[in-house]
Amino acid sequence: MNKPVFTGSCVAIVTPMNYDGTINYDEYGKLIEFQIENGTDAIVTCGTTGESAVMNHKEHCEVIEYTVKKVDGRIPVIAGTGSNDTAYAVELTREAKNLGADAVLSVTPYYNKTSQNGLVQHFNTIANAVDIPMILYNVPSRTGCCIKPETYVQLAKNPNIVAVKEASDKIGDVAQTLALCGENFTLYTGCDDMTVPVMSLGGKGVISVFANVCPKEMHEIAQYCLDGDFKKGAEMHLYYLELMNALFCDVNPIPVKEAMNMMGYNCGRCRLPLVSLNEKNYAYLKSVMAKYGLLK
């Protein structure tokens, strides 16, 4: 049985931006401390929610380095190092290991996509080149590429490929993956609203957008599930479901960065091509945040 990189709630943390679009490290440090103080079990930096797609190589490495140093071993740091270019994914994964990341998150190839055999070769090439635990990231709504349960069986044979962030919304595929792979492969959900259902089947946690806003609550939901108290986990899950959904009223991470701004943090705006919430969605998100007592 492979030891999980983490169990519970891992925040897919936002990257705060200054008005000119540069990274606001002072505010980023505050967000990291907010997460750790409120029980978050791990941090993914430079993921989708962290806007890695619009970071250049230098920024990407600097954010990983800052995160590792700021966290200082208190919880695992997982660095997003995926690419649709296998060679570049290897390069970025090497950088992440050298910078001290505990594990990496590697998304399926996007735009060019690939076959299931291509996925096996792509991920094995990265895993064989860099000795660091790799969490696969399956998010077909963004990439147009989906890992099948049977493919996970092949990938799990590689000792460095230890888990997947499964964001396909297909609960049947989640069940089949867990049934086929057993204890040799860890499955995390990448969908906040699927946390309790996935963990009830044997998932070990969530890589969460919602945790940016409510780290303590997301940790508690996941911990109830890990403790086998799915009734309490479900009660909390259903109570916060409206907020979880509101954070996806527009393309992630637009709403969650705005939610953090509403809480008094200075996260700024997303980089283009993502733009600010329209008036209707802003008013909706603000009303939901107010309902949960989260407005500053």
The per-residue pLDDT for range 1-39, each reduced to its tens digit, is: 678 999 999 999 999 999 999 999 999 999 999 999 999
In a domain, 92, yes or no: yes
In a domain, 218, yes or no: yes
* Domain of 130, in residue numbers: 8-229
In a domain, 193, yes or no: yes
Q: Along the 296 residues of the chain, how does pLDDT read in single tens digits?
A: 678 999 999 999 999 999 999 999 999 999 999 999 999 999 999 999 999 999 999 999 999 999 999 999 999 999 999 999 999 999 999 999 999 999 999 999 999 999 999 999 999 999 999 999 999 999 999 999 999 999 999 999 999 999 999 999 899 999 999 999 988 899 999 999 999 999 999 999 999 999 999 999 999 999 999 999 999 999 999 999 999 999 999 999 999 999 999 999 999 999 999 999 999 999 999 999 999 999 98
Work out the number of other CB atoms within 10 angstroms of the CB of residue 1. 8
Backbone angles phi, psi at 59, to 5 degrees: -60, -45
In a domain, 95, yes or no: yes
CATH number of the domain within which 26 lies: 3.20.20.70
In whole angstroms, give the CA distance from residue 17 to residue 148. 36
Tell me which of 28, 70, 97, 137 is the catalytic residue.
Answer: 137
Helix (H, G, I), strand (E, B) or coil at 36: helix
Residue 137 is among the residues annotated as catalytic for this protein: yes
In a domain, 238, yes or no: no
In whole angstroms, give the CA distance from residue 266 to residue 261. 6
With both helix axes pointing from N to C terminus, report the angle between 25-37 and 57-71 in degrees, rounded to the nearest 10: 40
Strands 8-12 and 42-45: parallel
In a domain, 242, yes or no: no
In a domain, 249, yes or no: no
Tell me which of 97, 165, 204, 257 is the catalytic residue.
Answer: 165
* pTM of the entire predicted model: 0.97
The per-residue pLDDT for range 64-99, each reduced to its tens digit, is: 999 999 999 999 999 999 999 999 999 999 999 999
Q: Bridge-partner residues for 105, per DSSP? A: 80, 135
In a domain, 144, yes or no: yes
Residue with tokens 């505010």: 27
Q: How many domains does the chain have?
A: 1
